Chains A and B, each alone.
Chain A
Amino acid sequence: MAKAVKLRKPQAQKRGPGKTPVSLKVNHGLHTIFVEPRRTLLDALRKDLGLIGTKKGCDEGTCGSCTVLFDGKPVYACLMLAIECEGHEIETIEGLSQGDQIHPIQQAFIEHDAFQCGFCTPGQILSVKALLDANPSPSADDVKRAVSGNLCRCGAYPKIVQAALKAAERLKS
């Protein structure tokens, strides 16, 4: 291990610590917000863009209430900085329904009573959406695994599984 990386004057520009413009693509719309680098994606969505459907349950990646889709894949918005999301597609629960037309997954959640208080529900639905996008015919175990990173303290899990399977069936036909 002799050869080392040659040091040079970095070309990249530092941003912050004050507020800096950050461009976010959320639900197919481009938004520029003015925030400190420490702004999480979650706070940016909720405070700067008013997208309150994404919830803050723990703010440290341990509950799943802030699940959003990042380039189509579920992630915790509380463990991402807004500034690092530039150039990526973010989808929140608000992006799922088309006008008054709710998504088949949302419809199935209602029909199966797949929530009680509803606080974790947007995150659960987005995790199910990512699953069904990747695997249109999941088993009950696949669904449980897909939502294993979304805690539901009311214990709606059995009905979340039913709803996801029903939604999968409808989306296929």
Chain B
Amino acid sequence: MKNFQYVNAPDVEDAVSLLQEPGTKAVAGGTDLLTELKERIKMPEILVNLKTISDMKYIREEKDDLRIGALATLSEIELHRMVRERFPILKEAISVTATPQLRNAATLGGNLCQSVRCWYYRHPDVKCWLKDGDMCYAEDGVNSRHAIFGNSTCIAVHPSDLAPALIALDARIRIAGSEVEGELLLEEFFTLPTETHRQSTLLGAADLVTEVIIPHRFGPSNGVYLKAMERATWSFMLVSAAVQLEWKGDRVREARIVLGGVAGKPWRVREAEAMLQGQTLSEGLAQSVGEAAVANAKALKHNAYKIPLARNLVKRGLLELTRRKA
């Protein structure tokens, strides 16, 4: 780590004001940022500690929604009664994230804002496009862990497990900054990096995520999060699928299908969702929806396996929800 100045922010105003100074970075759980500092991928002059902000670490049940402060740790969310009862999809996503130690330190805000795990981005001897270099080295390199949707200059995938689950719940995110303050759909918060905006969220350099809001629109136990990994645990996803269904009797009234590990942002497959509307679920339909989910996928040299994998996880998720309903 290159040395830095360190300051505890007492509140959001102070934090945002401090972040105005160039070379300043915010740190919360630190489980992602510290690895980048150690590899000297990021070398801030000043680190602003957000964990001292007292009113950003909460999980609050309200009439229409559940509100989670950005500083809530993944463990706190996972263990929360309402999350377990009403949003099992989120609980499932957290339970397959990292390890107990990391879940105790990592925060919700940090999880949504984490950097990609692309091994070129993380390699100290490679200055890739995402690190303001000239080119993506994965495109013609080893791209077995990379994207099958939405590829442009950068083909790294977004690594968060929480994001697909939260998007499937129609969650909104609250942002605070010197130019913006307010809510937007979490789905819209994530972006594919562009030439002038080389990151995977809309967040400006001096903006903070303050809260995530989950509306009470879905009934309990109607969501599932499936994650394919190389080993049993402690891995970023090869592919994951967040599937959330709203039933009306035996029929699907509304569906959300969000894939992880397949694109530079959590990838919602609306065409596949639409196929479910008003239908009763069968093995055949689940298979067709799975196929529709990957219809527009384009494999790179080493990641063709992700297409059947995503297809199968969607199918499995739908059948699992049908099973749970029965």
Count residues on chain A whose CB falls below 8 Å from chain B CBs.
43
Cβ–Cβ contact A1 & B180, under 8 A: yes
Main secondary structure, interface of A, reads: loop
Name which of A8-16, A26-34, A95-103, A105-113 contacts chain B.
Answer: A8-16
* Complex interface: chain A residues within 8 A of B39 (CB): 60
- Look across to chain B and name the residue whose beta carbon is closest to the beta carbon of A20: B6
* Complex interface: chain A residues within 8 A of B184 (CB): 1
Question: With an 8 A cutoff between CB atoms, is A117 at the interface?
Answer: no
- Look across to chain A and name the residue whose beta carbon is closest to the beta carbon of B12: A5
Query: Which residues, 5 to 19 on B, are CB-close (under 8 Å) to A?
Result: 5-10, 12-14, 16-18
Question: With an 8 A cutoff between CB atoms, is B51 at the interface?
Answer: yes
Main secondary structure, interface of B, reads: mixed
Task: Specify which of A5, A13, A15, A127 lies most central, judged by the most chain B CB atoms within 10 Å of its CB.
Answer: A5
Query: Which residues, 99 to 113 on B, are CB-close (under 8 Å) to A?
Result: 99-102, 104-105
Cβ–Cβ contact A38 & B178, under 8 A: no
* Complex interface: chain B residues within 8 A of A14 (CB): 5-7, 46
Task: Specify which of B2, B37, B100 lies most central, judged by the most chain A CB atoms within 10 Å of its CB.
Answer: B100
* Complex interface: chain A residues within 8 A of B182 (CB): 1-3
Bound-state Cα–Cα, A36 to B47, Å: 13
Question: With an 8 A cutoff between CB atoms, is B260 at the interface?
Answer: no
Question: With an 8 A cutoff between CB atoms, is A73 at the interface?
Answer: yes
Bound-state Cα–Cα, A6 to B105, Å: 29
9 contacts between A and B (CB under 8 A): A5-B13, A5-B17, A14-B46, A16-B6, A17-B4, A37-B47, A76-B105, A79-B30, A84-B51
Q: Please give 19 more A-B residue pairs, beta carbons under 8 A apart, in addition to A3-B182, A5-B181, A10-B17.
A: A1-B180, A1-B183, A2-B182, A4-B176, A7-B13, A7-B20, A12-B9, A13-B7, A14-B7, A16-B6, A37-B6, A70-B104, A73-B104, A75-B101, A75-B104, A76-B101, A81-B6, A84-B51, A149-B100
